[in-house]
Amino acid sequence: MTKRGRSIRVPVLARVEGEGALEIDIAGNRITRLDLRIYEPPRLFEKFLEGRSYLEVPDMVARICGICPVAYQMSAVAAIEDAFGFTPGPELRAWRRLLYCGEWIESHALHIHLLAAPDVLGFESVLDMAQAWPEVVERGLRLQALGNRILAVLGGRSVHPVSVRPGGFSRLPGPEALDPLQEACRAALETARDLVAWTASLDLPRETQDFPCVALRHPHEYPMNEGRIAATTGLEIPVSEFEAHFEEYQVPHSTALHSRLAGRSYLVGPLARLNLNRDRLPPPVAEALAATGIAFPSHNSHFSIVARAVEIFLALSEAVRILDDPPPAAPALARPLQPRAAEGFGCTEAPRGILYHRYRFDADGRVQAARITPPTSQNQARMEEDARLALERFGLDRPDEELRRYAERVIRNYDPCISCATHFLRLKVNRR
């Protein structure tokens, strides 16, 4: 949205390009209070969905996030299919996994190269970095374009893929589209492998904190669309029990609800996924990770950039594997489902972490109630805790601008679904 120094007020969930707000109270060298308003959960969408047919849900929720529409569609169809007793067959699973690979590659490539890299390489903005390191930016854009191409070939267009339905796809591409895509993915594998090494070679702060990690866990694959919810605390539960273990609570400074697990803030996203699923990496990806020399599991959020690079390599490898021998399309095409009065649960791994959907339907398949818990919401408490600890370690006797930039960098490790802008934080410091 183009602005001229003013902002248009829109429902709070709308402005992915909006600002976050950080307010801290400092007494001496301690932070006595830290309030972060970084993201508003899609509560209004939950209301909009009420009364709608299950057929409309995937397209509607895809509009919640301009950046990760596929994730919203995947979690939505998982919950709908759970409610109506439909189990995707292996062909549909493979096609959906391929689609998700596209979004992971696109999202991670953009974050690594355009958002995180300027921080790490010491540039004020991606613009400054592009002058000095155009090849870094170009690599990011090439990988991002490849991810988008997967989405466009499978989904119909690269934004709001239009072919995802409960029960399958409305259409799927044939070999004339898939063969060139396979070649393009295969050709990019080398770049993806090098990217892992490149991220590990960066001068990343060594800062470890203590927190549980949460991700999906699957019997044999690196999780995207399926799995039980697992935590480094040892918890492993079916998706239907998410709300019984993960508690949402109100904080006074924000309309966003924070999440906690057994009273603690927790991490979702690439670092959490990798910590819990290293043994599910295909051998070439596992080798690339081992070659970095970084010990995993890691509780250093600055290594999230490495985890994202590993996941790009993983997603690209999976895409090549699936495209090498694409499953037949016919079994993956959507057939009408039989709606029933029921509740359904879906949880899939968005690029930023687990995305949980729950719907209750009436006998006609109309939504009576919806609950959507995005990854960035779940990371909010962890981001606050991290920012507080990290800023204290950084030292508070510095100009506010320096504190703001450092706080942004710390928060940016979480790839919060707030904006594609490099400067997104307004800082207010109260010193005593």
Partner 1 sequence: MHLLRHPLPAAEGEPAVTTIRIIGLGSPFGADRIGLLAARRLAREVRLPPGVEVIERDRPGLRLLEDFTGARAVLLLDALAGGIPGRVREVERSALLARAAPLSSHALGVAEALALAEALGRLPEAVGLLGVETGPAPGPEDVDPVWVQALCLRVPVALERLVPDRRVAGCGGRIRSRR
Give the residue with the Cβ less far from partner 1, 46 or 81.
46
Does residue 59 touch partner 1 according to CB under 8 A?
Answer: no
Count of residues interacting with partner 1 (CB under 8 A): 44
Residue with tokens 């409610």: 83
Does residue 1 touch partner 1 according to CB under 8 A?
Answer: yes
- Which part of the chain contacts partner 1 (CB under 8 A), choosing from 119-127, 207-215, 252-260, 272-280? 119-127
Query: Which residue in the set 30, 122, 127, 297 belongs to the binding site for partner 1 (CB under 8 A)?
Result: 127
- Which part of the chain contacts partner 1 (CB under 8 A), choosing from 81-89, 140-148, 263-271, 318-326? 140-148
Does residue 122 touch partner 1 according to CB under 8 A?
Answer: no
Query: Which residue in the set 159, 262, 291, 341 belongs to the binding site for partner 1 (CB under 8 A)?
Result: 159
Does residue 4 touch partner 1 according to CB under 8 A?
Answer: yes
Q: What is the closest distance, in whole angstroms, from the C-beta atom of residue 370 to partner 1 in the complex?
A: 17
Residue list 64-103, contact with partner 1 (CB under 8 A): 66-67
CB 268 within 8 A of CB 214: yes
One-letter amino acid for residue 260 of the chain: R
Query: Which residue in the set 51, 90, 134, 174 belongs to the binding site for partner 1 (CB under 8 A)?
Result: 134
Does residue 8 touch partner 1 according to CB under 8 A?
Answer: yes
Spatial distance between the Cα atoms of 420 and 17, rounded to a whole number of angstroms: 7
- Residue 16 Cα distances to 38, 41, 321, angstroms: 10, 11, 34
Write the DSSP symbol of residue 338. Answer: -
Residue with tokens 């939505």: 76
Does residue 47 touch partner 1 according to CB under 8 A?
Answer: no
Spatial distance between the Cα atoms of 156 and 287, rounded to a whole number of angstroms: 35
Give the residue with the Cβ less far from partner 1, 278 or 404.
404
Does residue 27 touch partner 1 according to CB under 8 A?
Answer: no
Query: What are 264's strand-pairing partners?
Result: 261
Does residue 350 touch partner 1 according to CB under 8 A?
Answer: no
Query: Which residue in the set 61, 112, 126, 387 belongs to the binding site for partner 1 (CB under 8 A)?
Result: 126
Does residue 145 touch partner 1 according to CB under 8 A?
Answer: yes
| Angle of the 304-324 helix axis to the 134-155 helix axis, nearest 10 | 40
Tokens of 396: 């508070």
Does residue 422 touch partner 1 according to CB under 8 A?
Answer: yes
- Which part of the chain contacts partner 1 (CB under 8 A), choosing from 11-19, 24-32, 258-266, 375-383? 11-19
3-class SS at 236? strand
Task: Give φ, ψ of 6 to 5 degrees.
Answer: -120, 160
Query: Which residue in the set 68, 105, 117, 144 belongs to the binding site for partner 1 (CB under 8 A)?
Result: 144
Tokens of 126: 């991606």
CB 106 within 8 A of CB 154: no
3-class SS at 25? strand
Spatial distance between the Cα atoms of 174 and 412, rounded to a whole number of angstroms: 39
Query: Which residue in the set 253, 393, 423, 428 belongs to the binding site for partner 1 (CB under 8 A)?
Result: 423
Does residue 174 touch partner 1 according to CB under 8 A?
Answer: no
Tokens of 22: 């950080």
Does residue 146 touch partner 1 according to CB under 8 A?
Answer: no
Does residue 235 touch partner 1 according to CB under 8 A?
Answer: no
Tokens of 162: 């239009």
Spatial distance between the Cα atoms of 430 and 411, rounded to a whole number of angstroms: 20
Query: What are 350's strand-pairing partners?
Result: 353
Does residue 420 touch partner 1 according to CB under 8 A?
Answer: yes
Does residue 6 touch partner 1 according to CB under 8 A?
Answer: yes
Does residue 15 touch partner 1 according to CB under 8 A?
Answer: yes
CB 155 within 8 A of CB 100: no
3-state SS of 106-118? HHHHHHHHHHHHH
Query: Which residue in the set 138, 324, 364, 400 belongs to the binding site for partner 1 (CB under 8 A)?
Result: 138
| Contacts for 5 with CB less than 8 Å, ≥ 6 apart | none
Binding site for partner 1 (CB under 8 A): 1-11, 14-17, 19, 63, 66-67, 110, 114, 124-127, 130-131, 134, 137-138, 141, 144-145, 148, 159-160, 419-426
